[in-house]
Amino acid sequence: MGVTGHREQVLVTRRLTPGTLDRLTARHRVELHDSDTVMPRDLLLRAVRGKAAALTTLDDRVDEEFLAAAGPGLRIVANHAVGLHNIDREACAARGVQVTNTPGVLTESTADLTMALLLGAARRIGEGERTVRSGTPWNWAPDFLLGLELSGARLGILGMGAIGRAVARRAHGFGLRIGYHNRTPLPEEQSAGAPWRPLEQLLAESTLLVVSCPLTGQTRGLLGARRLALLPAGAVLVSITAGVVDEDALAAALGSGALLAAAVDHHTREPAVNQALLAQERALLTPHLGSATTHTRRAMGALAVDNVLAALDGRRPPSAA
Ligand code: GLV
């Protein structure tokens, strides 16, 4: 256990918002990968050696190799994300390494972005903007770029966690009729007034679908061609979780006209974007902007720093799982 006041070695794998690391550098010896790009693997494995803490992002794979490179002094991996799919949690637990994420602070910003994507895809904002910007001749016409009206439509939320609930709260304001699916139905007071549905029923009922469940062994590839085909004709799908929707199958469903439109913010092989999706005009594709507000990114950084400081002081980190 760390002695309060002792300066420990900490690795931070990405440049954070200005000032975020001040409380950490005041107390500990911080090695910062001072860059906006992913730390190359060989550099990461060298840099983590002998560290007591690592503040990581979703792009840093924390596995046996990483833990072995770090050595026995590593006490915490503080992920700068709500997701933890880059981290082998069992391997960390086996070595007594704590793992933390940044829940809560990014809920509202991510729900805002999800609504933006829902509106953007349903109203074909990407296509419209590209039409204007490309100089393609256009004029108002009764059937020009017709989209899907939200008011009165059925919205399915696959993954009614904190973000799903925040989306549901917003969606009520747009007059959407909401249902959700989680592995286990939630107590009524936690379901934002939405009824639970079995997955396949939810898909069959949802003209709009938001995919907001975490990526786990159970959810990886959950929505492939067969399940996507259950959505009503002309449905709109929004995905804010990488790896749950099969991107090739989604592109095929757009290409065949089975779906009206889709939006994807978090991509399976980031920063690469699925080529088949790129070829679809009706795919609204954003570069992982879910939590990208100044307010939220500061809060995520502050929470990740709080988690590191607590672990190095021998206290329970605020977002210990
Ligand atoms: C995704 O962006 C996350 O924070 O998990």
Q: Which two tokens stand for residue 12?
A: 């931070």
pLDDT tens per residue across span 22-44: 999 999 999 999 999 999 999 99
The pLDDT value recorded for residue 292 is: 98
Alpha carbon of 169 to ligand 1 centroid (Å): 20
Alpha carbon of 214 to ligand 1 centroid (Å): 9
Alpha carbon nearest to ligand 1 atom 4, residue: 81
- Cα–Cα distance measured from residue 212 to residue 155, given in angstroms and rounded to the nearest whole number: 13
- Cα–Cα distance measured from residue 75 to residue 60, given in angstroms and rounded to the nearest whole number: 17
Contact residues for 146 (Cβ-Cβ < 8 A; gap 6+): 124
Q: Which two tokens stand for residue 91?
A: 């391997």
Mean pLDDT, the chain, rounded, equals 96
The pLDDT value recorded for residue 30 is: 98
Say if ligand 1 is within 6 A of residue 158 CB: no
Contact residues for 164 (Cβ-Cβ < 8 A; gap 6+): 157, 158, 180, 192, 210, 212, 213
- Residue to mutate (ligand 1; options 62, 80, 82; most atoms within 8 A of CB): 82
CB neighbourhood size of 6 (10 A) = 11
Give this prediction's pTM: 0.94
> Which of these, 88, 95, 94, 241, lies nearest to 161 by C-alpha position?
241
Say if ligand 1 is within 6 A of residue 290 CB: yes
Alpha carbon nearest to ligand 1 atom 5, residue: 83
pLDDT tens per residue across span 239-274: 999 999 999 999 999 999 999 999 999 999 999 999
Alpha carbon nearest to ligand 1 atom 2, residue: 81
Q: Is 176 left (phi over 0), alpha (psi -120 to 50) or beta?
A: beta
Residue in the structure block whose two tokens are 């605020």: 318
- Of ligand 1's listed atoms, the one at least distance from the Cα of 291 is 2
Say if ligand 1 is within 6 A of residue 81 CB: yes
